[in-house]
Amino acid sequence: MGRHKKGLCIDRIEIDDKGKMKVITEDGSELKVTRQERAVLAFYKHPNYEDEIRHAMSNPNIIGDDFRVFSNGKYVYHHHQLAE
């Protein structure tokens, strides 16, 4: 953890029905994450979700402006709020 490039921001997280996760950056590339980081990224219902991500990634600026999470193709989280 803490090995990610400075200035890199996560744009979206995609979790499929088998639990496989893709973390996509703002430039469209896929970010490789550790098992520990995946565990934090998958827990989008946590009330301090974004703070937990910043802590796990050791980067206060890791979350992009349009950060969102998709689970099984369904939109489930947007930056600063849960999708309904």
What does the pLDDT read at residue 72?
A: 94
> How many residues are present in the chain?
84
What does the pLDDT read at residue 4?
A: 55
Q: Please state the pTM of the whole predicted model.
A: 0.83
What does the pLDDT read at residue 7?
A: 74
Q: For all residues of the chain together, what is the average pLDDT? A: 88
Assess whether pLDDT exceeds 80 at residue 5. Answer: no
DSSP string, the chain: ---SPTT--EEEEEE-TT--EEEEETTSPBPP--HHHHHHHH-TTSTTHHHHHHHHHT-TT-EEEEEEEEETTEEEEETTEE--
Cβ-Cβ contacts under 8 Å for 19 (sequence gap 6 or more):
42
